[in-house]
Structures are given as structure tokens and as C-alpha cells.
Amino acid sequence: MTLDELPVPPPSVAAHPVEIGGLRLANPLLLAPLAGVTIPALRLLYSKLGAGAVHTEMISCAGLLVSERQSRRRNNTGDEGYEIVSPGSKTERMLAVLEGESPVIAQLFAGDAEIMARGAECALGVQSKIVALGINMACPMPKVLKKGAGSKLLERPEVAFDMVRRLVALGLPVWPKIRKCPPTLPLTTEAFCEGLLEAGAATVTVHGRTPAQRYTGEADVSLLPRLATLFPGKVCASGDVFSPERAAEYLNGGCAAVMFARGAIADPFLFPRTLAFLGYEVHNKYRNPSPDFQLSLLLDFGENVCAGSGPRIAVLMVKRLLSGMFKGLPGIGELRRAAAHILSWKELRGILETCEVYFERREEHSGCAS
């Protein structure tokens, strides 16, 4: 059975629309931007699992402009007649949107408002399906910080606010994502959010860790309801969403939406389980997915990654999701160990297609087989 023949898990936008950050979405559970992870095939998978909207990986505005210049040189067009990104370039692949994806928010990063605005124009020229422009003001990694981008912008509020104003002028909702501001920064998290919203941001996503924490320790979960009270309907939550209960806690605290990041990678079915927990009607196929269904999802996903990003990435991504799938099934450990050393997508696909062997073998060992 193919995915298309299966019942759609979440209610449609028409059935239960929610207004978040200038968008009409089917539900408030969003796939967070994840560099190296939220490629189109993965976004499609999570759209099918119920994500109300999905984010691209963070995309470099400087990179977009380089691609544009190269393309213009190749096409020998003038400044006005730009063709923008060369076919098949990495940037174009990052901006690709597959049929069936939930609304896609393109997340951009830059260290300066002019580059941000020009990069955003390029992105919109390449991809008309983008519904909102995200700005990364959260990334704590040195290679982004040294460009003055990501969470470095928390040290330069005026640049950050200017970026928002410049992108608002392009006509799409603007979705900056920040981190909790420690006392060493010029503004508190509250004041930074206020500045972004005054500049015209449609919503602000806050990850309740400071940049110095990176991904260690715990996110400050209590910060989000405080912000949501100050800015009703304008705050999205990120940080330590590994369970339906945590997502509900953020929403009950007044957050407009919740972003799923590492939790969704560790457990792809976290989306449908959370939707069910929140009271959405979710087909049992998604709440209690059978091994066959999980396998069909994984194979479909692998094929899509292969088509868009190549077989090497397909192997990496499928192995990554495999560790969160088939939870509790006897024999799954053996299957994962067998998959671990595989480098070719064809071989991995073969192992997955015959994976019942692992499950049966385990049953024989445990004496379950008749």
C-alpha cells in the first residue's frame, strides 16, 4: 500500500484552521529548522505524519547571492534580468519544495540586513511556494557566529530588527527564531521579542536555552508562558519537546505553536501521537503504526532522499530515522546492527525490504514460533 492510499492523519486546514504568524495552518505543531536534516524529503515525511508547517534548513543568504552571481555570469544576463540560481546547485536543492509538503517556511541566515534582504529576494525568486521567511537568530555554532549571524544577532538588536523590517517589505510573514538572552546581552529576551514584533515580525520563536548552552542542559520551559502572556498569539515555543505532554504544556501556557526538533527525529510518530493527545482525530494507523506501515514510510522516504540528495544521504537519513522506528519490536536491535555498517542505499533498501526475517528470527529464538 502506498502512502497516498492511506488515510491522512491530521485534520485538514479547512476542518480546523489555526492562525499562526500570519499563516492559516492545520494545527500548531511545526517541524523546526534543522541544518542538515530538514531536507525536502524529510519535510514531506513529517507533513504526512501531521506537521502543521515545516521549516527548511537554515539557508545562507550570502550563498544565495553567490549562486545568483554565478548564474548571471553563466547566462550573461544583466543586473535586472537575473536568472538567479543555477540548476541543481546546492542552494536550489535547499529551496526545493515537494508536492504534498505542509506550508514551508524558508529559514535564512546572514550577518547583515542588506545581505539578508537580497538573499530573501533571491529565495523568493527561486521558490514561489515559500509561505513565510524565517530568520535564524538562534544558531550558536562558531561557523555561523563568525559571520555575525545566528545568535550573534542577539548582541546586535538593531541589526536584527532591521532585518525584520527589510523582510517584511517583501510581503511575506517574517518568523525570526531566537534563543533565551542571558544577562550579558544588551536586551532581555522580553525586550528583544518586543523589538522584533515592533519591527513587524509575525511571530517570534524562542528556544529557551542561551547560546552558550548550545544543546546541553535543559531549556527554560517557564520562560515561554511568560513571553506568551506578554505577547499573546505571537510566541512559538522550541526546546525539549520530546513528548506530547511537553507540547501541550507549551500550548496551554499560551504559546501559539510548538516546534518539534530532536524529539521528532528520535520518534517520527511524535507528531501524530501529540495530535491525538491534543484531541485531534488521528487515524489508528498513525497512533499505533504497524511494522508494515513504518517500513513503507521509511522506504518511501529513502527513495525521496535518494532522488533529491543522492544515495549516500539516503543511507544516512534512513539510518537516523530507523533508530526511532519499530520501537519495542523484538528483533529491531539486530536489524539496526545489520543496517549500521551498510553504505549503499540499494543494500540498505534490500535489508529493510526483508526485515521481517529479523523479527521472525527473534521469535524463533524466544521460542514463540510454532
Ligand X SMILES: Cc1cc2nc3c(=O)[nH]c(=O)nc-3n(C[C@H](O)[C@H](O)[C@H](O)COP(=O)(O)O)c2cc1C
* Footprint on this chain of ligand X (rule: CB under 6 A): 32-35, 37, 57-58, 107, 136, 138-139, 177, 207, 215, 219, 238-241, 261-263
Closer by beta carbon to ligand X, 55 or else 349: 55
CB of 242 to ligand X, least distance (A): 7
Cβ closest to ligand X, residue 283 vs residue 319 = 319
Cβ at position 37, least distance to ligand X in Å: 6
**Smallest distance from the beta carbon of 95 to ligand X, in angstroms?**
14
Give me the least distance between CB of 72 and ligand X, in Å please. Answer: 27
* Chain centre distance of CA 323: 19
For residues 31 and 322, which CB has a smaller minimum distance to ligand X in the complex?
A: 31
Q: Report the distance separating Cα 117 and Cα 151, nearest Å.
A: 18
- DSSP of 50-103: T-SEEEEEEEEHHHHHHHHHHHHHHHT--SSS---SPTT-HHHHHH---TTPPP
Task: For the CB of residue 332, give the shortest distance to ligand X in the complex, in Å.
Answer: 23
Kindly report the number of other CB atoms within 10 A of residue 14's CB atom: 8
Nearer to ligand X, 270 or 322 (CB): 270
Based on CB atoms, which residue is closest to ligand X, 259 or 335? 259
**C-beta of residue 27 within 8 angstroms of C-beta of residue 16:** yes
CA distance 284 to 269: 12
User: Cell numbers at residue 39, please?
Assistant: 531536507
CA distance 185 to 181: 6
- Alpha carbon distance 134, 131 (integer Å): 10
Closer residue to ligand X in complex, CB, 121/267:
267
Torsion-angle region of 267 (φ positive above 0: left; ψ -120 to 50: alpha; else: beta): beta
Minimum separation from the CB atom of position 11 to ligand X (A): 24
Asked if residue 57 lies in contact with residue 39, where contact means CB atoms within 8 angstroms, the answer is: yes
